[in-house]
Amino acid sequence: MLQEPLFHISHDACIKCYSCVRICPVKAIRVDVNTELPSIIPERCIGCGSCYRSCSPHAISFRSSIEETKSILASGKKVAAICDPTISGEFHDITDYRKFVEMIRQLGFTYVNEASFGVDLVAFKYKELFENFRGKYHFTANCPSVVAYIEKYYPELITNLAPIVSPMVATAKVVRQKYGSDVQVVFIGPCISTKDEALKFEGDATINAVLTFVELRQLFNEFNIRESQLEFSEFDAPLGYKGSLYPISNGFLQAADINENLLTGTVITTEGRNNMLHAVKEFDSRIELIRRNFNIFYDEGCLMGPGTSPGGEKFLRMTLVTDYANKRLVSFDKDVWEDEIASFAHLDLSRQFEPDDQRLPVPDDEKIEEVLKMISREGHMDNEVGCESCGYSNCRDLAIAITQGLATTEMCHVFSGHNRQEYIQTLRSTNENLATTKAALKESEEKAKHEQEAQKESAEIITTMLQNLLSGVVIVDDDLKIYQSNKAFIRIVGEEAAMIDEVIPGLVGADLKSLLPVHFYKMFSYVLTSDEPIENKDVQFGDIKLGVSIFPIRSHKYVGGILRDMYVPEVRKEQIITRLTEVIDENFEMVQKIAYLLGEGASKTEQMLNSVIDSYKNPGKK
């Protein structure tokens, strides 16, 4: 069955602090260039949990085994709990380990066993390997994160991994031999990466589920299991001896009395993220000079594993572990233990490792220098230069990661700082420009407001003027719909127009074809199509004769028509001429506004008004 990734980052909770990116020892976290959000690359991950522990907003979670464990317990099968000896350091709030054992039984486990017996078995295998030296030095393979690191990033060193199973797997084999092959096994421990390690084994080495101590506490809370309500209960046999010291890194060696003497011993013990990284690197390049086996743990001993409760105090936990071991040894029956060791000595505790090379090609120097220029670090190809705040040991390594698509330029704090300062300067300048623009805009708005008021005033004046002309004036669009007309036009057209005017003032939108006879409105169509004016044409309209002038206002869009009753007294004609001439001479600016309102320039409007005047001055002109 396909398993979900061991770790997951919630982008909803992520605050883009990149602490996870900085602390990941193998750079298994990619930052998306577009979203700037980090995502874990499962195939590159070694399950160390550093990102999980460093994430202050708790945006990173690990694969839970709680529901899986509850299903196993509800299956009706025999289920054995294998407890890592780190329980003595983790559960300091439980006064007696026997109460702790009973609390686990109350969850539904048939058996509760110590993994310390598996530690004893495995430690003796290591003693045999180290003492039977054949020219090759080894890494201990107890820490799954160390194993994954070598498989993925130093696959050439796989043959140097001791071919021995971890105490977890060894104890699973013991439990199945003792209680039957059908027993289900749940490992309880301080490590998150054991969840992935367990997936690699089958048969009598099968681990059906792995619970961290954090998850175990959640189960206790869910089922309301409390120490104060329970009696004592002992671990099921076989019991471990010095394997109880396993949570302390060199405690594993003491379990089998492997020589740690600085002068005569052949094993170096180290722990912690940086020490692990340096140890593997030096083993790879200097083992001929070092000439020692390496006992390595990623965390500062299993005591401080990522599956333990946060905020744990290392030295307090160390003391609790040693106190627990001492109490057990007071009444420990070593003879029984030796018999048990002998009875399981035939178990096959060997294992193999698979290379899973996740190393990315290193780009050429030209590309690296290109990126260094982007982050203003050109000339920093030297491996010694770098503040390490980006999570990489130097500027060159960051540049390599950027070219490999694992990092972004924004992760360089120096570069981001410069950009931030430039941004602040740009922002300040922009704000100043914005203030100036705002003032100019306000001034422009005031000016536009005045112009709008002037236009409105001009429009009112012109409209009033047109409405008081004795000649009919009408403006139509290219569909022969009336855009504007005056009272004289409505009076000339007749009662039907007057009735429409009561509903739609000025006949705006009325169809000219429905108001004028066909020969009349076709003249308007002609001017619209030809863009040529018709001036002072006599047209019979009912009982009256009209002098008609039609001219384009906006090419093929608007035309204006002036309809003059030929029987209007000359005096009135002269008065109109005088008034129109005065308007043109004294209010030319207002005339220009008319063009704006009608969608035409001042010259066209002037042309229309002049046409009115000309029609009166030259009534006989055709």
Is the pLDDT score of 622 beyond 50?
A: no
Q: What's the CA gap between 549 and 527, in Å, rounded?
A: 10
Q: Which residue did the predictor score with more confidence, 378 or 453?
A: 453
pLDDT of residue 602: 46
Contacts of 548 (CB under 8 A, 6+ apart): 520, 523, 534, 536, 537, 538, 539, 561, 562, 563, 564
Residue 424 has pLDDT above 70, yes or no: no
What pLDDT digit, counting tens, does each position of 93-103 carry?
887 888 999 99
Residues 274-304 pLDDT 10s: 999 999 999 999 999 999 999 999 998 888 9
Is beta strand 544-554 parallel, antiparallel or unpaired with respect to 293-297?
A: unpaired
457-617, CATH topology level: Beta-Lactamase (3.30.450)
pLDDT band (50, 70, 90) for residue 571: very low
- Of 453, 487, 455, whose CA–CA distance to 473 is shortest? 487
Render pLDDT for 369-390 as a digit per residue (tens, 0 to 9): 888 877 766 665 555 566 666 7
The domain defined by 1-63 folds into Alpha-Beta Plaits (3.30.70)
- Whether the upstream peptide bond of residue 238 has omega within 30° of 0, thus cis, is yes
C-beta atoms surrounding 146 within 10 Å: 24
Least confident of 193-202, 311-320, 445-454, 510-519: 445-454
pLDDT digits (tens, 9 = 90+) for 30-66: 888 788 899 999 999 999 999 999 999 999 999 999 9
**Under DSSP, is residue 563 helix (H, G, I), strand (E, B) or coil?**
strand
Report domain extents, the chain: 1-63, 66-343, 365-411, 457-617
